[in-house]
Amino acid sequence: MARVFITGSSDGLGLTAAQLLVEQGHSVVLHARSQQRADETQNKFPAAESVVVGDLTSIAQTRYVADQVNNLGIFDAVIHNAGIGYREPKRMVTEDGLSHLLAVNTIAPYILTALITRPKRLVYLSSMLHKNGDPSLNDLTWADRPWLGQQAYSDTKLHDVLLAFAVARRWPGVLSNALEPGWVPTKMGGSSATDDMDQAHRTQVWLAVSDDPVALVSGEYFYHMEKRHPHPATRDAGLQDRLLNFCFRVTGVELPS
């Protein structure tokens, strides 16, 4: 049996993945952004071991999430599922001066990766739109350019793959991979999404706990349990390190070597 922590798991793909893990005999710890949502989640899914609380738009609260997870002990896998979409009509700014998209989709998984006691496996949810991301890494906070929600989202999903591959390179003892769940009719994907909802949560579960030799790899990108070719820039070690350095400057949290 594995212990798995899943971010952004009070509903959507995170909760669906948790349900599948429990069906398979594993233990899961969930995450909600507020105590109210945590209580609701625990009530509707009492099989969860616990629910940690923290708003990932906040650096301080994200650090607190890491503290709560570490206080629960060692985990076999962490699934970085939490994310917000691109329908924000304007640049929304966090208490730390970041866009909401950057804070939740890029900075939060970086902080949690750096601070949670190192598990055996790390899984990062990206998107097919990461291929439209800007690999220049210029103006990541969108402070000096007109806001384009879909582009900002695509950028952060590129960051998720860069982070996954950077960790795979720096931590050879950890299996670190990224995936796209497909365009599915979740709260984020919307009702017009056309991909298979039944498949959307299975790859992250498979990467987190499976003994399938295809899943026991690191530094790869998947869709529906098959390897896919990510944006070529994600393989650039220099670009990976530039993103890590930016995250360190913003947060004061350093990814251990």
From 157, 221, 223, 227, active-site residue: 157
Range of the domain at 146: 3-251
Structural domain contains residue 224: yes
Query: For the segment 94-150, what is each residue's pLDDT rounded down to a tens digit?
Result: 999 999 999 999 999 999 999 999 999 999 999 999 999 999 999 999 999 999 999
Structural domain contains residue 93: yes
Structural domain contains residue 126: yes
Structural domain contains residue 61: yes
**Taking the model in full, what pTM does it have?**
0.95
157 is catalytic: yes
Q: For the chain, how many structural domains are there in total?
A: 1
Q: What angle do CA 168, 243, 60 make, to 5 degrees?
A: 95
Query: For the segment 216-251, what is each residue's pLDDT rounded down to a tens digit?
Result: 999 999 999 999 999 999 999 999 999 999 999 999
The CATH code of the domain that includes 229 is 3.40.50.720
% of the chain at pLDDT higher than 90: 90
pLDDT computed for residue 192 by the predictor: 55
Query: For the segment 169-197, what is each residue's pLDDT rounded down to a tens digit?
Result: 999 999 999 999 976 455 554 445 445 65
From 44, 153, 221, 227, active-site residue: 153
Structural domain contains residue 257: no
Structural domain contains residue 256: no
223 is catalytic: no
pLDDT computed for residue 189 by the predictor: 45
pLDDT computed for residue 195 by the predictor: 56
Query: For the segment 25-50, what is each residue's pLDDT rounded down to a tens digit?
Result: 999 999 999 999 999 999 999 999 99
Structural domain contains residue 108: yes
- For 75, residues 6+ apart whose C-beta sits below 8 A from its C-beta are 3, 4, 5, 29, 69, 116, 117, 119
Question: Taking a C-beta distance cutoff of 8 angstroms, is the pair 132, 151 a contact?
Answer: yes
